[in-house]
Amino acid sequence: GNSVTQMEGPVTLSEEAFLTINCTYTATGYPSLFWYVQYPGEGLQLLLKATKADDKGSNKGFEATYRKETTSFHLEKGSVQVSDSAVYFCALKNGAAGNNRKLIWGLGTSLAVNP
């Protein structure tokens, strides 16, 4: 079946440090891959997505590349800010009909950025 595994947190970094949050997946076919972010006290919002192999999603300085050969979608940012402190979720969607309407979620990685 479909599954998503992401690195456990919490991750604690200093401002301007480089960030990587690992995400690997198991799926048949060609799923779409997503990163969502949840800021403190809020619901989730889409950060970026990629829909086919070698696609790079990017937003707010974050990037992730869809690597089919390694079944990975790692999230990176070159220089984090205190305002990036949040929980990050990796997810996949493998189709649009029936039960495939739902997203398959990783457990989330908490990031704390210190000034």
List interacting residues with other proteins (CB under 8 A). 31-32, 34, 36, 41-46, 49, 51, 89, 93-96, 99-103, 105-108
By C-beta, is 81 or 100 nearer to other proteins? 100
- Torsion angle of C-alpha atoms 23, 30, 54, 82, degrees rounded to 10: -30
Whether the Cβ atoms of residue 23 and residue 72 lie closer than 8 Å to each other: yes
By C-beta, is 17 or 24 nearer to other proteins? 24
d(CA 41, CA 60): 20
Nearest Cα to 44, choosing from 92, 90, 99?
90
Smallest distance from other proteins to CB 108, Å: 5
Smallest distance from other proteins to CB 100, Å: 7
Smallest distance from other proteins to CB 30, Å: 9
Whether the Cβ atoms of residue 106 and residue 91 lie closer than 8 Å to each other: yes
By C-beta, is 43 or 115 nearer to other proteins? 43
Smallest distance from other proteins to CB 48, Å: 10
